[in-house]
Structure 1
Amino acid sequence: MTEIKRPTWAISNPLMQQYYDTQWGIELHDERALFEMLCLETYQAGLSWQTVLNKRSAFEDAFHHYEIEQVAQMTETQIAPQLKNEKIIRNRLKLNATVNNARTIVKLHVAGRTFDDYIWQFVDYQPQRLVIQKDENLPAQTRLSVQVSKQMKKDGFKFVGPVTIYSYLLAVGVVNARLD
Structure 2
Amino acid sequence: MEAGLQVALHCKGLPLVVVLIAGIIAKMDREASLWLEVANDLSSLALGEQSMKVIQSSYDHLEDHLKPCLLYMALFPEDHKIPVDDLLKLWMAEEFVLNSETENMEEASRNFLSDLLNRSLVMVSGMNINCDVKYCSIHDVVREFCLRKLTEEKYMQLTVPYNPYQHLHSMESRLCIYIHDDLVKQLDHSDEQLD
Q: Structure 2-normalised TM-score?
A: 0.27
The answer to which structure has the higher helix fraction is 1
Bigger Cα Rg? 2
Q: Structure 1-normalised TM-score?
A: 0.29
